[in-house]
Amino acid sequence: MKHLDLSVNVDHVATLRNARGGTHPCPVEASRIAIEAGADGITVHLREDRRHIKDRDLERIRAEIAAPMNFEMAATEEMVAFAERIRPPYCCLVPEKRAELTTEGGLDVLRAGPFLREAVARLRAADVRVSIFIEADAAQIEAAAAIGALAIELHTGTYAEGPVADRPRQLARLQAGVAAARRAGLLCHAGHGLSYDTVSDIARMEEVTEISIGHFLISQSVFEGLPVVVRRFKALIAAARQA
Ligand code: PXP
């Protein structure tokens, strides 16, 4: 069975900090605590409007945290240039709309302009391993492989946040996405909307090698503490993997 990494998204530590405009709570400190508690990596999304993570957070996490960083970003000139400068080990390309509350769906690789291919090529030239956040759709996944991505991150939001009765159908759709990634020779990551209730179904998919969790994990930490929540997620993932 392949190892399954948990990457903790610390964006919403920055959301809380920004609510008062000061320095507390600090996403760099949260990253350190999450890694000490057993997380395998840290994810940060630097948005065009800098609504949570700021440039300096990203630079500091890259410099100070000795665990793989996954830099989530839109495929824009500004963000590609940023990634070329700080050279994170992983980038995840996501669609980004100013008005959205969070990333709303996978990137439409089939209809993307030529800059997406250029972004992937430039990131690869900077030794960044590129994944693309994507719907579980075979044509989209094949298109991601064709433009040179190394991995896809399957969008689990529709499964995790939709009606419970619809979950078997959504899981089957995700399974088909995992199979399409395997056929296309891509690594398969997954994330969005996952919680204690939904992580196990995804962790049981043995081709999935990384799960990225943010909002639930950080908000649950208000009640339980960040190390406890990270350890609970790691235990759920380990149990699902063994089952
Ligand atoms: N993966 C991607 C590509 C995302 O945009 C997000 C949200 O920032 C996540 C995973 C994590 O989603 P959540 O915060 O709902 O756990």
pLDDT tens, residue by residue, 177-234: 999 999 999 999 999 999 999 999 999 999 999 999 999 999 999 999 999 999 999 9
pLDDT value at residue 239: 97
In degrees, rounded to 5, the angle at the alpha carbon of residue 99 between the alpha carbons of residues 96 and 101 is 80
Q: Is the CB of 88 under 6 A from ligand 1?
A: no
Q: Is the CB of 27 under 6 A from ligand 1?
A: no
Compute, in angstroms, the gap from residue 212 CA to the centroid of ligand 1: 7
pTM of the model: 0.97
Could you give the count of Cα atoms lying within 13 Å of 174 in the half-sphere of its Cβ?
28
Q: Would residue 192 show up in a list of annotated catalytic residues for this protein?
A: yes
For residues 55 and 53, what is the distance between their CA atoms, to the nearest angstrom?
7
Q: H/E element holding 195?
A: none
What Cα–Cα distance (Å) separates residue 80 from each residue in 35, 48, 71, 103, 144?
A: 26, 12, 10, 18, 17
> Which residue from 145, 226, 229 is spatially nearest to 182, judged by alpha carbons?
145
DSSP-derived 3-state class of residue 71: strand
Compute, in angstroms, the gap from residue 191 CA to the centroid of ligand 1: 6
pLDDT value at residue 230: 98
**Which is catalytic among the residues 52, 72, 153, 155?**
72
What Cα–Cα distance (Å) separates residue 50 from each residue in 15, 55, 58, 91?
A: 10, 8, 11, 17
Hey, CA dihedral for 72, 61, 3, 187, is it positive or negative? positive
Q: Which two three-digit tokens encode residue 185?
A: 């020779």
DSSP-derived 3-state class of residue 144: helix
Compute, in angstroms, the gap from residue 17 CA to the centroid of ligand 1: 19
**Which is catalytic among the residues 12, 45, 52, 155?**
45
**Which is catalytic among the residues 12, 96, 192, 210?**
192
List average pLDDT for each run of 10 residues in the chain, which is 243 residues long: 92 98 97 98 96 97 97 97 97 87 87 95 98 97 98 97 96 98 98 98 97 98 98 98 89
Q: Would residue 215 show up in a list of annotated catalytic residues for this protein?
A: no
Q: Is the CB of 212 under 6 A from ligand 1?
A: yes
Q: Is the CB of 45 under 6 A from ligand 1?
A: yes
Compute, in angstroms, the gap from residue 237 CA to the centroid of ligand 1: 17
pLDDT digits (tens, 9 = 90+) for 81-90: 999 999 999 9
